[in-house]
Amino acid sequence: MAQFRILKVALDTPLDFLFDYGWLVEDGAPEPQVGQFAVVPFGRRETTGLIVDIADSSDLAPEKLKNALAVRTQLAPLTPQWIALCRFAADYYQRPLGEVAVPGVPKNLRAENPVSLNRALKKIGQDRPAPDATPAGMPLLNPAQQQAADAVADAHGFAPMLLYGVTGSGKTEVYLQAASQILAREPEAQVLIMIPEINLTPQLENNIRARFPGLMVATLHSGLAEGERMFHWLAAHLGHARIVLGTRLAVLASLPRLRLIIIDEEHDPSYKQQEGLRYSARDLAVWRARQLGIPVLLGSATPSLESWHHAQSGRYRKLELRERAVQDAVLPAVRLIDMERDKPVEGLTSTLISALKRRLERGEQSLLFLNRRGYAPVLGCDACGWVSNCTRCTAFMVLHRPEHRLRCHHCSLELRIPRSCPTCGNVDLQPLGRGTQRVEEGLQLVFPQARILRIDADSTRRKGSAQAAFDSVHNGEVDILVGTQMVAKGHDFKNLTLVGILNPDTALFSHDYRASERLFAQLMQVSGRAGRAAQKEGGSASEVLIQTRYPQHPLYGALMAHDYDRFANGLLEERQMAGLPPFLYQALLRAEAKELSIAIEFLQQAAESVEHPGIVINDPIPMTMTRVANVDRAQLLLESASRPALQAFLKVWMGVLREMKSRVRWSLEVDPVDI
Ligand code: ADP
Ligand code: ZN
Ligand code: ZN
């Protein structure tokens, strides 16, 4: 007898509910399964959604119930755990389930396209190495590393751990050996290794592949072409890939036999998705580990205050690596250069110039860090006070001299550099301030013989050019490297003994309460590029020189002492007294409109729309950068001492806001990071 089923389908739409469709199971035909995709009529078109439940009846009136057009059976169904993960993410971040789950699976695997799916399945079958987890060339761990790796591998059930290890302490080796133990123990086990940005750390991918020659390693990140993404995603979903290395989006990969999650540089802001589903991949990873009852290892030299707080309170187990792993490699000495006394020329103080000179004489490499790309942040006219404001944003247009352009970094407006002042005609326009291009130019004047390389988003636009640039540093073809945060992350430069930090002061006085935490992490990370190998005979001791106007600032004091413990504990105390995260939970409603007053008015209405005991709703305010690309932006901050109370309120509130008529675009961020 044919059976009639009701499929409850999640669709990728802003409507926050499941859609019912009928499905007739003919005699002898397979039953539809939860976790399969169904092709369904939706309005005037067809779409593909995920079956998340199957029932015998529907609340829809029979004449309204439409039938599904097809159920896709080729792809192994997604597991209930995976669906539960998507459901949690959707609920927590206040989005419809379908918006999370459906785009989470590559298009070709959902769409009616058996050819490409078949091809991928066949290729995976062929590429699959024999199930052999014997690693190659594992170095002997030092006792602290061994203890950490064993703690992870021997953990039972949900075990969140913070690997707090100074730069160069060999955290990567702990990850690999913990993973190796787990993979060797269980022939089907999968390990997820998350990193902030894959393009900046190809070294790690190569290391992993070399280390586990017998295992399939899949990579997942936004830079993959559709075909590659499908292949890697499928390898993970089918359990063939035993190691998955990926960026934040990998946290939502389907991994049916996941046994360990590792999050490298867990403090890194890239783990936060800043549009659409604004999720924290770190937080989701911890949730996923709890769901599956497995260990999760969060590694950093400068842990986020959230994780630090958990470690201090005993919720996370703290594993420490206090020393550098390479024999005789020591942390660099950090020194401050007072710019009031040692006045810079071309942005460089005489102390820094002498230090650079010594490195050049000894054939060692130096790195100058300046987190500002372009030639100068502003072009200005001394005669009348004109400055290069962007006409569409609350921002300056940045001078890019080699490209002969003024560029807005927020709306990407581009103009030719004006020959004379647009207001008064003065031809002598002045660059104000200093970006990486200008530093590069100044350096070349001071050291005409030096081989100088700039690495920033401008110099590495072409695909593969960042890799080529980093390779040339590793190969010793560069004497002085100038770069933005792109150079701060992860690189193991062996011959680099000097790091100069050019203009970090502005972040000291930011209105953003997270700015000092971020600055410290960034400076510690870039400092960590120096002295990663043992000091050579006759070579320089490694050092970090910071040019500052505020040498007394406690942040620099902690940095000189390499004392993140004290710094982090101090910040936590401040946060507790001020009532800020992680002692308080926040959500931020943003609104965008043609005029600021419209955005503010919407937020005001939103604030008054629902009773909210236990939730503080602050006044709506313009965002710091109010206008971007001719759109005005405002925000409304919500705070609560109780996360469940905030969650419960948001659920109700979102329902009301979705029904509210307005001329704004709005979005909600839970646990916002930039406020
Ligand atoms: P981190 O990620 O903590 O900054 P890395 O994992 O990059 O540090 O390791 C720093 C350097 O130490 C690398 O060159 C690595 O090969 C080396 N290393 C790690 N563990 C050991 C070990 N047990 N013995 C010798 N060298 C090691
Ligand atoms: Zn002028
Ligand atoms: Zn602009």
Q: Which element (helix H / strand E) includes 465? A: helix 465-474
Nearest to 493 by CA among 461, 525, 519, 458: 525
Are the CB atoms for 318 and 162 separated by under 8 Å?
yes
Q: Which ligand is nearest to the CA of 489?
A: 1
pLDDT score recorded for residue 642: 96
Q: What is the whole-number distance in angstroms between the Cα of residue 265 and the centre of ligand 1?
A: 15
Per-residue confidence (pLDDT) for residue 129, from 0 to 100:
60
Whether residue 263 has pLDDT greater than 80? yes
* Residue 312 host element (H or E): helix 305-312
Q: Which atom of ligand 1 is nearest to the CA of 327?
A: 25
The CA 168 to ligand 1 mean position distance, Å, reads: 6
Alpha carbon distance 564, 548 (integer Å): 20
Ligand nearest to the CA of 384: 2
Residue 221 near residue 489, CB atoms below 8 Å:
no
What is the distance of C-alpha 199 from the center of its chain?
12
Burial 405-415 (b: 16+ CB within 10 A, else e): bbbbbbbebee
Tens digits of residue pLDDT in 363-413:
999 999 999 999 999 999 999 999 999 999 999 999 999 999 999 999 989
Q: Which two tokens stand for residue 544?
A: 């970090």
CB proximity list for 506: less than 8 A, separation 6 or greater: none
Report whether 86 belongs to an annotated binding site: no
Distance from the CA of 101 to the center of ligand 1, in angstroms? 38
- Distance of CA 390 from the midpoint of ligand 3 (Å): 5
Which residue is listed with tokens 């103080």?
349
Query: CB-based contacts of 44: which residues, under 8 Å, 6+ apart?
Result: none
User: Tell me, what's the pLDDT at 258?
Assistant: 98
Predicted confidence at residue 456, as pLDDT, reads 95
Name which residue sits closest to atom 5 of ligand 1, judged by CA: 170
Q: Could you give the angle at the alpha carbon of 632 between the alpha carbons of 631 and 637, nearest 5°? A: 130
Mean pLDDT value of segment 317-323? 97
Compute CA distances 449 → 439, 446, 452, 499, whole Å: 16, 9, 9, 20
User: What pLDDT does residue 80 have?
Assistant: 97
Ligand 3 centroid to residue 595 C-alpha, Å: 16
Nearest CA residue ID for atom 19, ligand 1: 170
CATH 3.40.50.2000 for domain 333-373+435-573, yes or no, is no
Using a 10 angstrom Cβ sphere, with 0-12 exposed, 13-18 middle and 19 or more buried, the burial of residue 580 is middle
DSSP states of 286-309 = HHHHHHHT-EEEEEESS--HHHHH
pLDDT, one tens digit per residue, over 518-568 is: 999 999 999 999 999 999 988 999 999 999 999 999 999 999 999 999 999
The CATH architecture assigned to 124-321 reads 3-Layer(aba) Sandwich (3.40)
- pLDDT at residue 55 in the model: 96
Q: What are phi and psi of 285, to 5 degrees?
A: -65, -40
C-beta separation of 318 from 568 below 8 A: no
Tell me what pLDDT residue 204 has: 85
State yes or no: pLDDT of 494 exceeds 70: yes
**Residue 221 C-alpha to ligand 1 middle, in angstroms?**
25
Q: How far apart are CA 102 and CA 49, in angstroms?
A: 6
Atom from ligand 1 closest to the CA of residue 142: 23
Q: In the prediction, which pLDDT does 136 show?
A: 77
pLDDT of residue 132: 63
Strand-pair category, 295-300 with 159-165: parallel
**Ligand nearest to the backbone CA of 493:** 1
Contact 565, 577 (CB under 8 A): no
Helix (H) or strand (E) segment spanning residue 113: none
What is the residue with the minimal CA distance to atom 26 of ligand 1? Answer: 326
Ligand 1 atom with the smallest distance to the CA of 166 is: 3
Of all protein residues, the one whose alpha carbon is nearest to atom 21 of ligand 1 is 325
Ligand-binding annotation for 390, yes or no, is yes
Residue 569 has pLDDT above 70, yes or no: yes
Residues bordering ligand 3, an ion, CB closer than 5 Å: 390, 392-393, 408, 410-411, 413
Q: Is 381 annotated as a binding residue?
A: yes
Q: Which ligand is nearest to the CA of 428?
A: 2
- Give the model's confidence band at 458: pLDDT under 50 very low, under 70 low, under 90 confident, else very high: very high
The residue-averaged pLDDT of 33-50 equals 95
Percentage of the chain lying above the pLDDT 70 cut: 97
Q: Torsion angle of alpha carbons 92, 95, 101, 107, nearest 10°?
A: -150
**Residues 620-635, mean pLDDT to the nearest whole number:** 97
Separation in Å, CA 85 to CA 178, 284, 421: 25, 8, 57
Of all protein residues, whose CA lies closest to atom 25 belonging to ligand 1? 326
Residues with CB under 6 Å of ligand 1 are: 139-142, 145, 165, 167-173, 325-326, 492
Query: Cα(387) to centroid of ligand 2, in Å?
Result: 8
Whether the full predicted model's pTM is greater than 0.90, yes or no, is: yes
Instruction: Residue 38: name the closest of 66, 9, 15, 71 by CA.
Output: 71
On the question of pLDDT at 343 being above 90, the answer is yes
Rg over alpha carbons for the chain, rounded to the nearest Å, is 27
**What's the whole-number mean pLDDT along residues 288-293?**
98
Q: Is the pLDDT of residue 498 over 80?
A: yes
Exposure on the CB side of residue 525, measured as CA atoms within 13 A: 23
Q: Which residues contact 136 (CB under 8 A, 6 or more apart)?
A: 210, 211, 212, 213
Q: Is 3-103 in CATH node 1.10.580.10?
A: no
The total number of residues shown for the chain amounts to 675
477-489 average pLDDT score? 94
pLDDT confidence of residue 447 = 97
pLDDT tens string 113-166: 656 667 776 776 666 665 866 777 888 999 999 999 999 999 999 999 999 999
Same fold, 3-103 and 585-670: no
Q: What is the pLDDT of residue 268?
A: 94
Is the CATH number of domain 585-670 3.30.413.10? no
- Domain edges within the chain: 3-103, 124-321, 333-373+435-573, 585-670
Q: How many CA atoms lie within 13 A of 320 on its CB side?
A: 7
pLDDT tens, position by position, 637-653: 999 999 999 999 999 99
Q: Is 384 annotated as a binding residue?
A: yes
* Strand-pair partners of 670: 587
- CA neighbours closer than 13 Å in the CB half-sphere of residue 462: 5
What mean pLDDT is reported for the chain? 94
Give DSSP secondary structure letters for 366-403.
Answer: EEEE-S--SSBSEEE-TTT--B-B-SSSSSBPEEETTT
